[in-house]
Structure 1
Amino acid sequence: MGTIDESNETICCEYISTILHACIHITRKLTGKNISIYPQFDGKNAGRVNYVINASEKLICVTGGKQHQIDIEFAQNVTQCNSAYKTNQKKRKAEEKHDYIFGIVTTTTAWYFLLYTPDGISCTSRNPLNIRFVESALEEGSEEEKDLHKNVKRVMEVIVGLLKDRV
Protein backbone atom coordinates (compact mmCIF):
# COMPACT_ATOMS: atom_id res chain seq x y z
CA MET A 1 0.00 0.00 0.00
CA GLY A 2 2.72 2.55 0.90
CA THR A 3 2.04 6.12 1.90
CA ILE A 4 -0.35 8.53 0.28
CA ASP A 5 2.64 10.47 -1.11
CA GLU A 6 3.36 7.45 -3.30
CA SER A 7 -0.22 7.23 -4.57
CA ASN A 8 -1.59 8.69 -7.76
CA GLU A 9 -3.23 12.10 -8.06
CA THR A 10 -6.77 10.71 -8.31
CA ILE A 11 -6.49 9.01 -4.92
CA CYS A 12 -4.99 12.16 -3.41
CA CYS A 13 -7.92 14.22 -4.73
CA GLU A 14 -10.36 11.77 -3.13
CA TYR A 15 -8.78 12.32 0.30
CA ILE A 16 -8.76 16.10 -0.17
CA SER A 17 -12.35 16.12 -1.43
CA THR A 18 -13.58 14.05 1.52
CA ILE A 19 -11.99 16.42 4.03
CA LEU A 20 -13.32 19.53 2.26
CA HIS A 21 -16.86 18.16 1.93
CA ALA A 22 -16.91 17.21 5.62
CA CYS A 23 -15.75 20.72 6.57
CA ILE A 24 -18.42 22.32 4.41
CA HIS A 25 -21.10 20.10 5.95
CA ILE A 26 -19.97 21.03 9.48
CA THR A 27 -19.88 24.74 8.63
CA ARG A 28 -23.37 24.59 7.08
CA LYS A 29 -24.70 22.97 10.26
CA LEU A 30 -23.00 25.57 12.48
CA THR A 31 -23.93 28.66 10.47
CA GLY A 32 -27.04 27.76 8.50
CA LYS A 33 -25.36 29.30 5.44
CA ASN A 34 -25.32 27.80 1.96
CA ILE A 35 -21.77 26.91 0.99
CA SER A 36 -20.78 25.21 -2.27
CA ILE A 37 -17.66 23.54 -3.56
CA TYR A 38 -16.62 23.56 -7.19
CA PRO A 39 -14.01 20.98 -8.21
CA GLN A 40 -11.49 21.60 -10.98
CA PHE A 41 -12.37 25.29 -11.14
CA ASP A 42 -10.73 27.21 -13.99
CA GLY A 43 -10.50 30.90 -13.18
CA LYS A 44 -10.32 33.55 -15.86
CA ASN A 45 -6.66 34.23 -16.68
CA ALA A 46 -5.63 32.78 -13.32
CA GLY A 47 -5.34 29.11 -14.11
CA ARG A 48 -6.93 26.07 -12.56
CA VAL A 49 -7.35 25.28 -8.90
CA ASN A 50 -8.52 21.92 -7.67
CA TYR A 51 -11.44 23.39 -5.70
CA VAL A 52 -13.13 26.69 -4.99
CA ILE A 53 -15.32 26.98 -1.91
CA ASN A 54 -18.03 29.55 -2.39
CA ALA A 55 -20.90 31.12 -0.47
CA SER A 56 -22.09 34.39 -1.98
CA GLU A 57 -18.50 34.98 -3.06
CA LYS A 58 -15.35 32.94 -3.43
CA LEU A 59 -14.09 32.12 0.03
CA ILE A 60 -11.23 29.69 -0.35
CA CYS A 61 -9.13 28.54 -3.30
CA VAL A 62 -7.64 25.06 -2.87
CA THR A 63 -4.71 23.80 -4.90
CA GLY A 64 -3.34 20.31 -4.52
CA GLY A 65 -0.22 18.85 -5.99
CA LYS A 66 2.79 16.70 -5.67
CA GLN A 67 5.48 17.47 -3.09
CA HIS A 68 8.08 18.12 -5.80
CA GLN A 69 5.80 20.77 -7.38
CA ILE A 70 4.85 22.62 -4.20
CA ASP A 71 6.42 25.93 -5.31
CA ILE A 72 4.37 25.85 -8.52
CA GLU A 73 1.23 25.05 -6.52
CA PHE A 74 1.87 28.00 -4.18
CA ALA A 75 2.32 30.37 -7.14
CA GLN A 76 -0.85 29.05 -8.78
CA ASN A 77 -2.82 29.42 -5.55
CA VAL A 78 -1.67 33.01 -4.97
CA THR A 79 -2.58 33.89 -8.57
CA GLN A 80 -6.03 32.33 -8.15
CA CYS A 81 -6.55 34.07 -4.78
CA ASN A 82 -5.65 37.39 -6.40
CA SER A 83 -8.16 36.79 -9.19
CA ALA A 84 -10.88 35.68 -6.74
CA TYR A 85 -10.22 38.71 -4.55
CA LYS A 86 -10.64 41.08 -7.51
CA THR A 87 -13.81 39.30 -8.63
CA ASN A 88 -15.25 39.50 -5.12
CA GLN A 89 -14.44 43.22 -4.90
CA LYS A 90 -16.35 43.92 -8.12
CA LYS A 91 -19.44 42.01 -6.94
CA ARG A 92 -19.77 43.49 -3.46
CA LYS A 93 -20.82 46.82 -2.06
CA ALA A 94 -18.04 48.82 -0.40
CA GLU A 95 -19.35 48.26 3.13
CA GLU A 96 -19.66 44.50 2.55
CA LYS A 97 -16.22 43.86 1.13
CA HIS A 98 -13.81 41.53 2.84
CA ASP A 99 -10.24 42.67 2.41
CA TYR A 100 -8.84 39.14 2.25
CA ILE A 101 -9.31 35.68 0.79
CA PHE A 102 -8.03 32.34 2.01
CA GLY A 103 -5.99 29.82 0.07
CA ILE A 104 -5.05 26.24 0.82
CA VAL A 105 -2.17 24.39 -0.78
CA THR A 106 -1.93 20.70 0.02
CA THR A 107 0.07 17.66 -0.97
CA THR A 108 -2.60 15.61 0.83
CA THR A 109 -0.20 14.94 3.69
CA ALA A 110 0.95 18.55 4.24
CA TRP A 111 -1.62 21.35 4.48
CA TYR A 112 -0.56 24.98 4.08
CA PHE A 113 -2.94 27.86 4.72
CA LEU A 114 -2.63 31.28 3.08
CA LEU A 115 -4.21 34.62 3.83
CA TYR A 116 -4.20 36.81 0.74
CA THR A 117 -4.67 40.59 0.96
CA PRO A 118 -3.74 43.28 -1.55
CA ASP A 119 -1.00 44.32 0.88
CA GLY A 120 0.63 40.92 1.19
CA ILE A 121 0.38 37.21 1.80
CA SER A 122 0.67 35.33 5.08
CA CYS A 123 1.34 31.62 5.02
CA THR A 124 1.95 28.64 7.29
CA SER A 125 4.73 27.37 5.00
CA ARG A 126 7.15 26.82 7.86
CA ASN A 127 4.64 24.89 9.92
CA PRO A 128 2.20 22.98 7.71
CA LEU A 129 -0.35 20.73 9.33
CA ASN A 130 0.59 17.14 8.52
CA ILE A 131 -1.58 14.09 8.05
CA ARG A 132 0.34 10.84 7.90
CA PHE A 133 -1.51 8.13 5.98
CA VAL A 134 0.05 4.72 6.59
CA GLU A 135 -1.36 1.22 6.45
CA SER A 136 -0.79 0.67 10.16
CA ALA A 137 -3.32 3.47 10.86
CA LEU A 138 -6.00 0.97 9.83
CA GLU A 139 -5.27 -1.06 12.96
CA GLU A 140 -7.89 -0.09 15.52
CA GLY A 141 -6.37 1.43 18.64
CA SER A 142 -2.89 1.81 17.17
CA GLU A 143 -0.85 4.95 17.80
CA GLU A 144 -0.89 5.61 14.05
CA GLU A 145 -4.71 5.52 14.07
CA LYS A 146 -4.82 7.97 16.98
CA ASP A 147 -2.34 10.28 15.22
CA LEU A 148 -4.36 10.11 12.00
CA HIS A 149 -7.59 11.06 13.83
CA LYS A 150 -5.88 13.89 15.71
CA ASN A 151 -4.21 15.35 12.61
CA VAL A 152 -7.27 15.12 10.34
CA LYS A 153 -9.33 16.75 13.10
CA ARG A 154 -6.82 19.62 13.36
CA VAL A 155 -6.87 20.25 9.59
CA MET A 156 -10.67 20.20 9.62
CA GLU A 157 -10.82 22.59 12.60
CA VAL A 158 -8.71 25.11 10.70
CA ILE A 159 -10.78 24.84 7.52
CA VAL A 160 -14.09 25.11 9.40
CA GLY A 161 -12.69 28.11 11.27
CA LEU A 162 -11.74 29.80 8.00
CA LEU A 163 -15.17 29.15 6.54
CA LYS A 164 -17.00 30.41 9.63
CA ASP A 165 -14.89 33.56 9.50
CA ARG A 166 -16.07 34.35 5.98
CA VAL A 167 -19.77 33.40 5.94
Structure 2
Amino acid sequence: MSEPSTPYTPASTSTTVARNETLTLADKIKKYDTTKLVDLLREEKDLGLNDEDLEIICKRKINGWAFLKMDQQDFRDSGFKIGTAIVLADFAEKCKEKKKRAIDESSKEFKLCIDDILRRIKNMGPVVDSNEAMRCKYISTILYTAVSILGGLVILPQMNVSGEENSSCVDYAIKKILDDLLEKIICITEGKQNQLGKGVAQNLMQCRSSCEMNLDTLKKKRKTEEAFKEYEYVYGIVTTATDWYFILHSTEAIYCTSKTEYHISLTEPIYVKM
Protein backbone atom coordinates (compact mmCIF):
# COMPACT_ATOMS: atom_id res chain seq x y z
CA MET A 1 0.00 0.00 0.00
CA SER A 2 1.36 3.38 -0.93
CA GLU A 3 1.97 5.99 1.71
CA PRO A 4 -0.62 8.74 2.02
CA SER A 5 0.30 11.83 0.08
CA THR A 6 1.53 14.86 1.97
CA PRO A 7 -0.48 18.06 1.57
CA TYR A 8 1.21 20.79 -0.42
CA THR A 9 2.93 23.09 2.07
CA PRO A 10 5.08 25.74 0.41
CA ALA A 11 7.62 27.53 2.53
CA SER A 12 5.84 30.77 1.83
CA THR A 13 2.85 31.92 -0.18
CA SER A 14 1.31 35.15 -1.31
CA THR A 15 -1.22 36.71 -3.62
CA THR A 16 -0.62 39.72 -5.77
CA VAL A 17 -3.30 42.14 -6.84
CA ALA A 18 -3.20 45.25 -8.97
CA ARG A 19 -2.37 48.46 -7.14
CA ASN A 20 -5.22 50.87 -6.53
CA GLU A 21 -5.20 53.74 -8.97
CA THR A 22 -6.36 57.21 -8.01
CA LEU A 23 -8.09 57.88 -11.31
CA THR A 24 -11.06 60.17 -11.76
CA LEU A 25 -14.29 59.03 -13.33
CA ALA A 26 -13.37 61.29 -16.25
CA ASP A 27 -10.39 59.05 -17.05
CA LYS A 28 -12.89 56.29 -17.74
CA ILE A 29 -15.56 58.38 -19.47
CA LYS A 30 -13.16 59.94 -21.98
CA LYS A 31 -12.73 56.48 -23.53
CA TYR A 32 -16.49 56.06 -24.09
CA ASP A 33 -18.04 56.15 -27.52
CA THR A 34 -21.46 57.76 -27.94
CA THR A 35 -23.39 54.58 -27.12
CA LYS A 36 -21.55 53.93 -23.86
CA LEU A 37 -21.92 57.59 -22.87
CA VAL A 38 -25.68 57.37 -23.40
CA ASP A 39 -25.76 54.19 -21.28
CA LEU A 40 -23.98 56.03 -18.46
CA LEU A 41 -26.25 59.07 -18.61
CA ARG A 42 -29.36 56.89 -18.72
CA GLU A 43 -28.30 55.23 -15.46
CA GLU A 44 -27.77 58.60 -13.74
CA LYS A 45 -31.41 58.98 -12.73
CA ASP A 46 -30.74 62.17 -10.75
CA LEU A 47 -29.95 64.00 -13.98
CA GLY A 48 -33.59 63.73 -15.03
CA LEU A 49 -32.81 63.07 -18.69
CA ASN A 50 -35.48 61.74 -21.03
CA ASP A 51 -35.28 59.94 -24.38
CA GLU A 52 -35.34 63.26 -26.24
CA ASP A 53 -32.26 64.45 -24.34
CA LEU A 54 -30.38 61.23 -25.01
CA GLU A 55 -31.33 61.44 -28.68
CA ILE A 56 -29.51 64.79 -28.88
CA ILE A 57 -26.34 63.10 -27.61
CA CYS A 58 -26.66 60.48 -30.37
CA LYS A 59 -27.62 62.96 -33.10
CA ARG A 60 -24.69 65.26 -32.28
CA LYS A 61 -22.36 62.24 -32.01
CA ILE A 62 -21.06 63.37 -28.62
CA ASN A 63 -18.60 60.83 -27.23
CA GLY A 64 -17.04 60.74 -23.78
CA TRP A 65 -14.06 62.91 -24.67
CA ALA A 66 -16.25 65.62 -26.21
CA PHE A 67 -18.73 65.47 -23.31
CA LEU A 68 -16.03 66.29 -20.78
CA LYS A 69 -14.89 69.28 -22.84
CA MET A 70 -18.37 70.82 -23.06
CA ASP A 71 -19.65 73.68 -20.91
CA GLN A 72 -23.15 75.05 -20.37
CA GLN A 73 -23.13 77.06 -23.61
CA ASP A 74 -21.91 74.07 -25.61
CA PHE A 75 -24.85 72.00 -24.35
CA ARG A 76 -27.23 74.85 -25.18
CA ASP A 77 -25.79 75.11 -28.70
CA SER A 78 -26.31 71.36 -29.10
CA GLY A 79 -30.04 71.76 -28.54
CA PHE A 80 -30.54 71.16 -24.82
CA LYS A 81 -32.92 73.34 -22.82
CA ILE A 82 -31.33 75.69 -20.31
CA GLY A 83 -32.13 73.56 -17.25
CA THR A 84 -30.75 70.38 -18.80
CA ALA A 85 -27.67 72.24 -20.07
CA ILE A 86 -26.88 73.43 -16.54
CA VAL A 87 -27.31 69.92 -15.13
CA LEU A 88 -25.11 68.29 -17.78
CA ALA A 89 -22.37 70.90 -17.47
CA ASP A 90 -22.35 70.44 -13.70
CA PHE A 91 -22.24 66.64 -14.04
CA ALA A 92 -19.36 66.79 -16.54
CA GLU A 93 -17.40 68.99 -14.14
CA LYS A 94 -18.03 66.69 -11.17
CA CYS A 95 -16.86 63.69 -13.20
CA LYS A 96 -13.44 65.33 -13.44
CA GLU A 97 -13.23 65.46 -9.65
CA LYS A 98 -14.89 62.19 -8.65
CA LYS A 99 -12.45 59.42 -7.85
CA LYS A 100 -13.08 55.90 -9.04
CA ARG A 101 -13.89 53.68 -6.10
CA ALA A 102 -10.82 51.78 -4.96
CA ILE A 103 -10.47 48.84 -2.64
CA ASP A 104 -9.33 49.73 0.85
CA GLU A 105 -6.56 47.20 1.44
CA SER A 106 -6.68 47.93 5.17
CA SER A 107 -10.36 46.96 5.44
CA LYS A 108 -11.39 43.94 7.48
CA GLU A 109 -13.08 42.32 4.47
CA PHE A 110 -9.98 42.61 2.29
CA LYS A 111 -7.69 41.18 4.97
CA LEU A 112 -10.05 38.24 5.55
CA CYS A 113 -10.09 37.58 1.81
CA ILE A 114 -6.29 37.49 1.59
CA ASP A 115 -6.04 35.26 4.67
CA ASP A 116 -8.58 32.84 3.18
CA ILE A 117 -6.74 32.71 -0.15
CA LEU A 118 -3.43 32.07 1.62
CA ARG A 119 -4.96 29.18 3.57
CA ARG A 120 -6.38 27.67 0.40
CA ILE A 121 -3.03 27.88 -1.40
CA LYS A 122 -1.31 26.25 1.57
CA ASN A 123 -3.88 23.45 1.93
CA MET A 124 -4.87 22.80 -1.69
CA GLY A 125 -1.77 23.78 -3.60
CA PRO A 126 -1.30 26.31 -6.41
CA VAL A 127 -4.10 27.10 -8.82
CA VAL A 128 -2.02 26.16 -11.87
CA ASP A 129 -3.28 22.86 -13.35
CA SER A 130 -6.05 22.62 -10.74
CA ASN A 131 -9.54 21.54 -11.77
CA GLU A 132 -12.61 23.73 -12.08
CA ALA A 133 -14.01 22.81 -8.66
CA MET A 134 -10.81 23.92 -6.93
CA ARG A 135 -10.68 27.15 -8.91
CA CYS A 136 -14.25 27.93 -7.87
CA LYS A 137 -13.11 27.86 -4.23
CA TYR A 138 -10.91 30.87 -4.96
CA ILE A 139 -13.51 32.53 -7.17
CA SER A 140 -16.15 32.35 -4.45
CA THR A 141 -13.79 33.90 -1.89
CA ILE A 142 -13.11 36.89 -4.16
CA LEU A 143 -16.76 37.36 -5.16
CA TYR A 144 -18.11 37.13 -1.62
CA THR A 145 -15.55 39.71 -0.51
CA ALA A 146 -16.56 42.11 -3.30
CA VAL A 147 -20.25 41.76 -2.45
CA SER A 148 -19.50 42.33 1.24
CA ILE A 149 -17.53 45.51 0.52
CA LEU A 150 -20.12 47.02 -1.83
CA GLY A 151 -23.20 46.27 0.27
CA GLY A 152 -26.83 46.09 -0.85
CA LEU A 153 -26.11 42.97 -2.88
CA VAL A 154 -26.64 39.24 -2.50
CA ILE A 155 -24.78 36.40 -4.22
CA LEU A 156 -26.45 33.15 -5.21
CA PRO A 157 -24.36 30.16 -6.36
CA GLN A 158 -25.88 27.69 -8.82
CA MET A 159 -28.88 29.90 -9.63
CA ASN A 160 -31.21 29.08 -12.51
CA VAL A 161 -31.72 31.82 -15.10
CA SER A 162 -34.36 31.43 -17.76
CA GLY A 163 -34.97 33.50 -20.88
CA GLU A 164 -36.87 33.15 -24.13
CA GLU A 165 -34.14 31.12 -25.84
CA ASN A 166 -32.01 29.75 -23.03
CA SER A 167 -32.36 28.30 -19.56
CA SER A 168 -29.36 27.25 -17.49
CA CYS A 169 -27.78 27.08 -14.06
CA VAL A 170 -25.10 29.75 -13.56
CA ASP A 171 -22.08 29.40 -11.29
CA TYR A 172 -22.73 32.69 -9.46
CA ALA A 173 -25.41 35.34 -9.76
CA ILE A 174 -25.06 38.69 -7.99
CA LYS A 175 -28.35 40.48 -7.37
CA LYS A 176 -29.25 43.98 -6.25
CA ILE A 177 -32.04 44.37 -3.72
CA LEU A 178 -34.68 46.76 -5.11
CA ASP A 179 -37.17 46.52 -2.25
CA ASP A 180 -38.57 43.96 0.19
CA LEU A 181 -40.00 41.84 -2.62
CA LEU A 182 -37.95 42.48 -5.75
CA GLU A 183 -34.34 41.91 -6.78
CA LYS A 184 -32.56 42.32 -10.11
CA ILE A 185 -29.55 40.45 -11.47
CA ILE A 186 -26.56 42.72 -12.02
CA CYS A 187 -23.78 40.20 -12.65
CA ILE A 188 -23.37 36.61 -13.84
CA THR A 189 -20.05 34.82 -13.24
CA GLU A 190 -18.85 31.72 -15.08
CA GLY A 191 -15.92 29.80 -13.58
CA LYS A 192 -13.68 27.81 -15.92
CA GLN A 193 -10.57 25.66 -15.73
CA ASN A 194 -9.81 26.46 -19.37
CA GLN A 195 -11.83 26.81 -22.61
CA LEU A 196 -12.40 30.51 -22.01
CA GLY A 197 -13.96 30.96 -25.44
CA LYS A 198 -16.67 28.47 -24.53
CA GLY A 199 -17.06 30.20 -21.18
CA VAL A 200 -17.62 33.58 -22.85
CA ALA A 201 -20.28 32.09 -25.15
CA GLN A 202 -22.06 30.53 -22.17
CA ASN A 203 -21.80 33.75 -20.19
CA LEU A 204 -23.30 35.83 -23.00
CA MET A 205 -26.32 33.53 -23.23
CA GLN A 206 -26.73 33.63 -19.45
CA CYS A 207 -26.49 37.43 -19.40
CA ARG A 208 -29.09 37.68 -22.15
CA SER A 209 -31.49 35.50 -20.17
CA SER A 210 -30.77 37.59 -17.06
CA CYS A 211 -31.61 40.81 -18.94
CA GLU A 212 -34.95 39.28 -19.93
CA MET A 213 -35.63 38.28 -16.32
CA ASN A 214 -34.78 41.80 -15.14
CA LEU A 215 -37.16 43.35 -17.67
CA ASP A 216 -39.96 41.14 -16.36
CA THR A 217 -39.12 42.29 -12.82
CA LEU A 218 -39.10 45.97 -13.78
CA LYS A 219 -42.42 45.65 -15.59
CA LYS A 220 -43.96 44.35 -12.38
CA LYS A 221 -42.45 47.24 -10.42
CA ARG A 222 -43.77 49.96 -12.73
CA LYS A 223 -47.36 51.01 -13.16
CA THR A 224 -49.10 49.45 -16.14
CA GLU A 225 -49.96 52.84 -17.61
CA GLU A 226 -46.40 54.14 -17.31
CA ALA A 227 -44.34 54.25 -20.48
CA PHE A 228 -41.70 51.53 -20.40
CA LYS A 229 -38.62 51.42 -22.60
CA GLU A 230 -37.19 47.94 -22.75
CA TYR A 231 -33.57 48.65 -21.90
CA GLU A 232 -31.57 46.63 -19.41
CA TYR A 233 -28.00 45.46 -18.87
CA VAL A 234 -26.10 42.81 -16.91
CA TYR A 235 -22.37 42.46 -16.28
CA GLY A 236 -20.71 39.17 -17.12
CA ILE A 237 -17.53 37.70 -15.68
CA VAL A 238 -15.61 34.75 -17.08
CA THR A 239 -12.73 33.67 -14.87
CA THR A 240 -10.24 30.91 -14.15
CA ALA A 241 -9.65 32.45 -10.68
CA THR A 242 -6.38 33.94 -11.92
CA ASP A 243 -7.56 35.53 -15.18
CA TRP A 244 -10.72 37.66 -15.12
CA TYR A 245 -12.61 38.87 -18.20
CA PHE A 246 -15.44 41.41 -17.86
CA ILE A 247 -18.39 41.88 -20.21
CA LEU A 248 -21.30 44.33 -20.33
CA HIS A 249 -24.35 42.80 -22.01
CA SER A 250 -27.24 45.19 -22.66
CA THR A 251 -30.43 44.84 -24.65
CA GLU A 252 -28.85 47.11 -27.28
CA ALA A 253 -25.22 46.00 -27.51
CA ILE A 254 -22.43 43.89 -26.00
CA TYR A 255 -19.20 45.43 -24.72
CA CYS A 256 -15.89 44.04 -23.53
CA THR A 257 -14.79 46.27 -20.66
CA SER A 258 -11.09 45.62 -21.28
CA LYS A 259 -8.95 44.35 -24.15
CA THR A 260 -6.82 42.35 -21.71
CA GLU A 261 -7.68 40.17 -18.75
CA TYR A 262 -7.36 41.30 -15.15
CA HIS A 263 -4.80 39.01 -13.55
CA ILE A 264 -4.63 37.90 -9.91
CA SER A 265 -1.58 35.80 -9.17
CA LEU A 266 -2.34 32.95 -6.80
CA THR A 267 0.90 31.04 -7.22
CA GLU A 268 3.87 33.35 -6.70
CA PRO A 269 5.76 32.35 -3.54
CA ILE A 270 7.32 35.14 -1.55
CA TYR A 271 8.23 35.25 2.09
CA VAL A 272 5.18 35.65 4.32
CA LYS A 273 5.49 35.53 8.07
CA MET A 274 2.59 33.35 9.18
TM-score, length of structure 2 as denominator length: 0.45
Tell me by how many angstroms 1:95 deviates.
6.4
Partner of 2:239: 106
Give the alignment partner of residue 154 of structure 2, picking from 24, 36, 39: 36
Question: Take 1:135 and 1:102, find their aligned partners in 2: how far apart are those partners?
Answer: 29
Q: Residues 7 and 121 of structure 1: is their aligned pair in 2 closer, same or farther, counting only changes over 3 Å? A: same
Give the alignment partner of residue 62 of structure 1, picking from 156, 179, 189: 189
What are structure 1's unaligned runs of at least 5 residues?
142-167
Tell me by how many angstroms 1:98 deviates.
6.0
Q: CA RMSD in A?
A: 2.2
Alignment of 1:120 onto 2:253: yes
Partner of 2:145: 22
Higher-helix-fraction structure: 1
What are structure 2's unaligned runs of at least 5 residues?
1-7, 9-124, 177-182
Give the alignment partner of residue 88 of structure 1, picking from 211, 214, 234: 214
Question: Take 2:155 and 2:229, find their aligned partners in 1: how far apart are those partners?
Answer: 22
The aligned amino acid for 1:54 is K
Give the alignment partner of residue 11 of structure 1, picking from 120, 126, 134: 134
* Aligned-partner SS, 2:128: helix
The aligned amino acid for 2:213 is T
Which range moves more in the overlay, 36-45 or 100-109? 36-45
2:187–2:237 contact (8 Å) kept in structure 1: yes
The aligned amino acid for 2:216 is K
1:49–1:76 contact (8 Å) kept in structure 2: no
CA offsets per residue over residues 99-144 of structure 1, 9 Å max, x none? 311111101111001000122211146311011211514x228xxx
Q: Percent identity?
A: 34
Higher-strand-fraction structure: 1
Question: Take 1:102 and 1:96, find their aligned partners in 2: how far apart are those partners?
Answer: 20
* Aligned-partner SS, 1:6: coil
TM-score, length of structure 1 as denominator length: 0.71
Partner of 1:150: none
